[in-house]
Amino acid sequence: MLLAAPLLLLAAAPLLAVGSNAPVRSLTTGASPSRAPDTSTRPLPPSVMRGGHVEYFAFGSNLLQSKVEGRTGFPVLAKERAVVTDHRLAFNMRAFPPLEPAMASLEPCAGESCEGVLYTLSREAYEQLWRSEGGAARRPAYEEVVVLARCRRGAVPALSLRAAPAARLRRDAPPSRRYKDLLVRGAREARLSAAYLERLEAVRAVRPSPAVAWLARAHGAVAVLCFRIGLRRLLAPLRCLLYFLMYSGQSRAASIASECLTACALLPTALIGVCIRALFTAVGKEAYLTFGPPPSANQSNKKAAEGAA
């Protein structure tokens, strides 16, 4: 892996070119924040539209209204508790182990049920939300599905999100402690049932030690760079190994062994990542090594207005 560092930097040379104005793409969406694709005219199932607005069923971190409004830049028009039957809350959307191993997904499962929040959003707000979840990517990590959300209004058709086949793990992985805490906070805010809240609190989560977290963030620079230059599959074997080494049980000895082996696995790419980040920072291109959903157009306009003021 260390021998591959010069080749990686050579492939990234166009990004390092002084004066380059290539757009910074989001790792989540694959799109430029300043050149978001126009998704407002794409067709949506008529059944999820109500008075020109979109019905959306949230079950993950979007249980928190502040998350939805922060991602979209628009206010929520209405919300209420809802349940989707014959589906379960899964943690099988591949993410970034060991920091964020898996994200939530709504998976079909006979006899199970998933509680959540049914939001009514403007069309613009929903499109920004979909984009923040990776909808602008060539191959989004989520796919939109229509579900029946049962609430006080009855069975309401709504859009929700399921891990896309290319990003779907064969079995659930433990979420991070940070992500699990967001879901628990959201469930409390939405006043979901006590039984469902208890199930969420019982989900085993992982929280790597500060040392492993530092190595993972340094490794992240390599992961982001590989994405930028079209080599996202290069680190697939290492990612599989990191999933294999994860441990969320109670054994202290097993936890220490998992941490040590994970640190050893991350060390080579972490060292490369430190060098890459230093180089990109030196030429003022550190933004190319950041990842996450791009800001919504509404948020960008607000920031521009604040800057002008």
Q: What residue numbers does the annotated binding site cover?
A: 56-61, 179
Task: Give the separation between CA 297 and CA 214, rounded to whole angstroms.
Answer: 32
Catalytic sites, residue numbers: 133
Token code pair at residue 35: 């050149």
Rounded to 5 degrees, φ, ψ at 204 are -75, 135
What sign does the dihedral 168-61-193-173 (CA atoms) show? positive
Q: What residue numbers does the annotated binding site for substrate cover?
A: 56-61, 179
Task: Give the separation between CA 215 and CA 271, rounded to whole angstroms.
Answer: 8
The number of beta carbons lying within 10 Å of the beta carbon of residue 4 is 15
How many Cα neighbours within 13 Å face the side chain of 273?
A: 21
Question: Helices 194-201 and 177-190 sit at what angle, rounded to 10 degrees?
Answer: 170
